[in-house]
Structure 1
Amino acid sequence: MATKQSRLHGRVEGAQARCAVPGCAQPGEFKAPLQPANFDGPGAWRFLCLDHVREHNAKYNFFDGMSCEEITRAQSPLAGWERPSRRFAANGADPPPRWSDFSDPLDAIATRFNGIHEAARPSRFSKSERRALSVLGLGEDADRHQLRKRYSGLVRRYHPDKNGGDRSHEGRLGEVIEAYQLLRKSAAFA
């Protein structure tokens, strides 16, 4: 069979078969479909010599059997676009962001896939430590210095001695202190 197809004029170099026309002794170097009138897709091929492939191509008429309206539709630049197409499956993923929320489309793409990278990377914090981080308003990328700075700021905000004797925030202050005590002993901040 054929090994390589020439880019210039359709000749299949290295074709080993003879021309498929009975009685022709020339090498079959050109591919031609078996049924040109009903050809749809890759189909079955036969190999012909140059003279017989020219004869085959001269007989071939794509529009054979079509009405004038069908020919006009086939020649239209929009031919084929009337077919319905399927939507891409979301496969359980989050819906994509609205493009109108972004001035740069690359920002929208990056935002869409940020969660995938975060989910793939194992967390260095336990569930209780992640809850403590959220109490302090910190992310998982926080370091010991950010932890200490955030804790100091929240204690100053909620402590009754620092906010004029207002004791309405004592519950929140207790949560902040408890979260800091848990996180300062965490192996992630060692």
Structure 2
Amino acid sequence: MEGTGQPCAHPGCEAAGEFRAPPLEGPGNAEGRPRFRFFCLDHVRAFNAGYNYFDGMTAEEIHHAQRPMAGWERETRAFARAGMGDAGPRWADYADPLDAIGARFRRTHAPERTDGKPLSGEDRRSLDVLGLPADADRSALRKRYSELVRRYHPDRNGGDRSHEAQLGKVIAAYQQLRQAPAFA
């Protein structure tokens, strides 16, 4: 840790105050920013050895602080706005030269539709199964479905049942997309 440039807060000590400790008056000031005293290594060790969290508390306050569920009754804040999911980092706050975090939030799926209709993750997977672009309309969906059924159905390809799994995926994708809001 870089030196603070402050001397040790212990009376008579001339060493640099590199380690912080809370003040005797309490942890914060009127603006809510924490204030600290800075000590040298020897004096911060002495401060920590003599620190007693329960000093000045009544027996009832000590019992209340030591109960098993202490602190759990406070309401916690939400990590993200409801319905918004994980919004990702604010890129202006830091540099990510190795793209270690940014890769998670990069779009690796089909782009959004130009008509503004929403596509869910399931919609995108179904479009990939059918080999359709994100901007496909309902008639393109029906046409592609017909093509793939003719290709994979055992009655249409000489009784070859090796494509039944792919046919099942095509049917499920079509059923999902025809009920999706983007194709309504």
Max radius of gyration: which structure? 1
The structure with higher relative contact order (CA 8 Å, sep 6+) is 2
Report the TM range for the smaller structure's normalisation.
0.3 to 0.5
Q: TM-score, normalised by structure 1?
A: 0.39
